[in-house]
Amino acid sequence: MSKCKIGMTDGRMYELYAQWVSSYSEDIEIIRLGYRFDNLEQVKACQALVFTGGEDVHPRRYGRLDYLTYCIPEDFDEQRDDFEWALLQYAEQYPLPILGICRGLQLINVFHGGTLIPDIPTWGKFNHAKGTDGLPREHGIQLDVHGQLYRITGEAMGVVNSLHHQSADRIGKGLVASALSPDGIVEAIEQKEMEGKPFFLLVQWHPERMTDIESPFVRNIGEAFVASVIQDGKTVKEEKR
């Protein structure tokens, strides 16, 4: 039996993301996608995509070059932006299940016409970056009980880790925020209309680095995503018979 192939974007701590997703089924294979490998064409072999965390999305992508003064130039990788933008264009043309994490949420929101807060503390919110000890912060989140994330987790509230200094601001067309932190930072985004569409979920926290791997904000999300990929893969194979 051939495995379902999940494309995963290359970036910082890639191995943690790959290990986390792979832990939910032996029936999937991870394909590492990145400009350093010059392997954009491999997306054609993928049944789903995971957009991982990492560098800041350059503000030119959402038309706010005036935000550069709030950014750290070393945190940009425009080649990565370009490569992953092309992946999203492919996934829009040939709809695939998508899971976005941290930077993944931010890039995909921008792809759909949204904008970002370039530096959360400067915008008058709590610090969401790692603590002075170098470890992730933790904070609560509140879910929209009418959203997909609530149906996946079964929880109206929860606690997640936090490792970011940028966040979604205006939400992209066709998308909606489905979880917020106490200070109003967007913690999850999904599609407004999901019926008949592949799995699509963007989260601002890092499930692959959560201490409690049994948390519904870790396990339930991983299981739901992988199950949808395998199911979609079986459906495609049956349609080709």
pLDDT, tens only, 52-101: 999 999 999 999 999 999 988 889 999 999 999 999 999 999 999 999 99
pLDDT attached to residue 240: 38
- Full DSSP string of 19-34: HHHHTT-TTEEEEEE-
Report whether 225 contacts 97 (CB < 8 A).
yes
- For the cut 80, the answer to whether the pLDDT of residue 228 exceeds it is yes
Q: What span, in angstroms and rounded, lies between the C-alpha atoms of 165 and 173? A: 23
The ranges assigned to domains in the chain are 4-240
List pLDDT tens digits, range 161-205. 998 899 999 999 999 999 999 999 999 999 999 888 999 999 999
Reply yes or no on whether 165 is catalytic. Answer: no
Q: Does an H or E element contain 161, and which? A: strand 157-162
- Residue 170 neighbours by CB under 8 Å, 6+ apart: 114, 115
Find out if CATH 3.20.20.210 is the number for domain 4-240: no
Mean pLDDT throughout 37-64? 97
Q: Is 53 exposed, middle or buried (0-12, 13-18, 19+ CB in 10 A)?
A: buried
- For the cut 70, the answer to whether the pLDDT of residue 1 exceeds it is no
Give 48's strand partners.
6
- For the cut 50, the answer to whether the pLDDT of residue 241 exceeds it is no
List pLDDT tens digits, range 16-30. 999 999 999 999 999
Of 84, 102, 128, 165, which residue is the catalytic one?
102
Task: Enter the DSSP assignment of 174.
Answer: T
pLDDT attached to residue 238: 43
Q: What span, in angstroms and rounded, lies between the C-alpha atoms of 224 and 100? A: 14
pLDDT attached to residue 72: 86
- Higher-pLDDT residue of 135 and 32 is 32
Mean pLDDT of the chain: 93
Reply yes or no on whether 4 is catalytic. Answer: no
Reply yes or no on whether 102 is catalytic. Answer: yes
Distances (CA, A) of 121 to 53, 62, 125, 186: 20, 20, 5, 14
Residue found by looking up tokens 């499930």 in the block = 207
Distances (CA, A) of 71 to 20, 28, 32, 128, 165: 30, 37, 28, 15, 10
